[in-house]
């Protein structure tokens, strides 16, 4: 293999439940920061959102930096650092600047997630998130 090529670890996850489990695992395991881009949530999933907010609030209260970009305005009792973006893109979750998970969990029959801890891929995702955060 040429020196310019590098094999990296990337996990593909199919199945909505497993994708959502991975999102929760990343949130639960965070120690420093969470950056979430979740611009599209179907109506049938809205009932699942309050536990997500509570989990993110708990993390924030533990001193973890939490930034969230959502696609629809929601009312919550306590303030999180949330911005809104109305495009229906996939999800992106970055945990502690060390792991990234891209997912499209709501394409019926085509649910897919891609997870990696490859430093350069995480860094690129973080740059994209930061650019979106500043431009919204």
- What is the domain count for the chain? 1
Q: Residue 121's domain spans which residues?
A: 11-135
SS3 for the chain is CCCCCCCCCEEEECCHHHHHHHHHHHHHHCCCEEEEEECCCCHHHHHHHHHHHHHHHHHHHCCCEEEEEECCCCCCCCCCEEEECCCCCCEEEEECCCEEEEEECCCCCCCEEEEECCHHHHHHHHHHHHHHHHHC
Instruction: Please indicate, yes or no, if residue 6 is contained in any of the structural domains.
Output: no
Tally Cβ neighbours within 10 Å of residue 27.
19
Entry pTM: 0.87
Instruction: Please indicate, yes or no, if residue 2 is contained in any of the structural domains.
Output: no
Model confidence over 50-101: pLDDT tens digits?
677 888 889 999 999 999 998 876 666 567 888 888 777 889 999 999 999 9
Instruction: Please indicate, yes or no, if residue 79 is contained in any of the structural domains.
Output: yes
67: CATH: 3.30.870.10
Model confidence over 100-119: pLDDT tens digits?
999 987 777 788 999 999 99
């Amino acid at each position: 293999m040429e020196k310019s090529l590098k094999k990296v670890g990337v996990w593909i996850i199919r199945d909505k439940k497993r994708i959502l489990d991975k999102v929760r695992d990343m949130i639960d395991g965070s120690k420093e920061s969470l950056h979430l881009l979740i611009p599209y949530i179907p109506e049938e999933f809205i009932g699942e959102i309050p536990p997500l907010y509570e989990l993110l609030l708990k993390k924030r209260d533990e001193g973890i930096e939490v930034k969230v970009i959502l696609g629809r305005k929601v009312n919550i009792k306590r303030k999180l650092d949330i911005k809104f973006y109305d495009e229906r893109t996939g999800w992106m979750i970055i945990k502690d600047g060390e792991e990234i998970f891209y997912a499209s969990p709501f394409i019926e029959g085509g649910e897919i997630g891609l997870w990696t801890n490859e430093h350069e891929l995480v860094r690129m995702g973080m740059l994209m998130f930061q650019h979106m955060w500043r431009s919204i």
